[in-house]
Amino acid sequence: MNILKKVALILTGLCMTHLSAQSKPNIVFILADDMGYADLSSYGAPDAKTPNIDKLAAEGVKFTNFYANGPECSPSRTAFLTGRYPQRVGGLECAIGTGNVGRYDDAIRLADKHDLGLPKDLAVLAPTLKKAGYRNAVFGKWHMGYEAKFNPLDQGFDEFVGFLGGNVDYFHHVELSDLPVYYSGRKPIKREGFTTHLITDDAIDFLNRQKAKPDEPFFLYVPHAAPHFPWQSPDGPTKLPSKEEWVQGSRATYVQMLEDLDEQVGRLLKTLDENQQAANTLVVFASDHGAMKPGLNTPWRDFKGTLFEGGIRVPCMARWPGKIKPGLVSKQIGTLMGLTRSFMTIAGGTPPEGMESDGVDIINHVIQGKDDDLRTLFWRARRGDRTWWAVRSCDLKYVKKTEDGKTQEWLFDLAEDPEEKDNRLNSAAGKAAAAVLIKKLIQWESEVKPIR
């Protein structure tokens, strides 16, 4: 009887493990590159038709108060992959320049030491999910370092096909440098096809292979290149642009890229349905920061690279059948690093001690139907001798910029002035309110000093 009891206990344990693996949801995160707040139909685009992406909002939740943690690519991706303010890493408060170039003093120092990128011991999200039993894959734009030691396969991902730099030609998959940038795992590759389509092909292939492993939950990270320059439509000229042409393009071409991206998202969502994976999959779509022209950030002020709302307020939506009620619109303030917190919580993963997330779980906030709460967020962005700072606390937002020895400051009340037209620093009350926010900002800077 003792032997039979032991066998029964073992079988029970195996069954519980099996059920536990099945109960964990899959996570798919699709990240657009340089997409503006108003570049989707569901966020007010006057010209782009994006029914597939919009469907995620219709079948789930649309966030209207969602922020990137930086106004450029690398800092936002750092925040997402670590769940922490990018300032904690060092050297990544600005996008890594084409050809592995540092663009401000700290980044230049690290580049000279061949250390400009996200170190594997500071990566949090993928390692935490992997430890929780997930198979992790990333297909698309990495932009977390050119050096071999910054490869996604050393940061918790099991599969990687994509490019290391910040912008590549969509047909030839090269950038304006001599470095190889398109990789499969650790090896440079050459392929034919339009980048947006190839990224989707790889993601779909992964989903199809995971169909045969229903007990293995997965995290699929799909950081697209579109609609980042060079602005090329899949039906447009395939000639490699010159350096001058690299950042030239029309809104018409940009819209073609948006609509093509939407079609590719539709292909991925269709695969989830066909594989019967959709019911147990959280799908989130967002942008890494605001757009530059010809993108649209309406109604917010300014563009990519600034800490006005147009540079950091981004579209975000999430669908999770049976968990998130369809058709929700949430005004809760959220961030990319908050998504990281959400994903780890949903997966049942715990980040390493001392690497706890700076973000707040926004997905479970919506699922539990909590009242929106007030949060304080901080930003700092650097390039050359230019530095931006911003802090939002409740509806008050303080912005500061220094460049060429000159300083500019603003204070806005986003509840009354969401377009940031009225600088309230001109009043005594505004100066007093700004002083409180500046004190918070100084305290934050002392807490997020980089460790390298």
Q: What is the residue range of 414's domain?
A: 378-447
Average pLDDT, the chain: 95
Contacts of 360 (CB under 8 A, 6+ apart): 334, 335, 338, 341, 375
Domain annotation covers residue 2: no
Kindly state the tokens that stand for 374.
């007030």
pLDDT digits (tens, 9 = 90+) for 69-87: 999 999 999 999 999 999 9
Helices (H) and strands (E) in the chain, counts: 11, 16
**CATH value at residue 138:** 3.40.720.10
Residues 54, 40: contact at Cβ < 8 Å? yes
Counting the structural domains of the chain, the total is 2
Q: Give the closest residue to 268 by CA, choosing from 37, 16, 53.
A: 53
Helix (H) or strand (E) run with residue 160 in it: strand 159-163
Amino acid in the structure at residue 363: I
Please tell me the pTM assigned to this model: 0.94
The per-residue pLDDT for range 194-232, each reduced to its tens digit, is: 999 999 999 999 999 999 999 999 999 999 999 999 999
Q: Convert the pLDDT of each residue in 318-344 to its tens digit.
A: 999 999 999 999 999 999 999 999 999
What was the pLDDT predicted at 3? 54
321 shares its domain with 428 = no
Residue ending a domain, choose from 323, 352, 372: 372
Given a cut of 80, is residue 18 above it in pLDDT?
Answer: no
d(CA 4, CA 85): 54
Question: Is residue 85, in this structure, part of any structural domain at all?
Answer: yes
291 lies in some domain: yes
Closest CA to 359 of 9, 23, 69: 69
Q: From CA 437, how far away is CA 378, in angstroms rounded?
A: 10
Whether residues 235 and 288 share a domain: the answer is yes
The SS3 assignment for 95 reads coil
Q: Which residues are catalytic?
A: 73, 143
Give which of 380, 370, 305 is closest to 334, Cα–Cα.
Answer: 370
Rounded to 5 degrees, φ, ψ at 450 are -65, 155
Greatest Cα pair distance in the chain? 84
In tens, the pLDDT along 272-305 reads 999 999 999 999 999 999 999 999 999 999 999 9
- One-letter amino acid identity for 127? P
Q: Is residue 452 part of a domain?
A: no
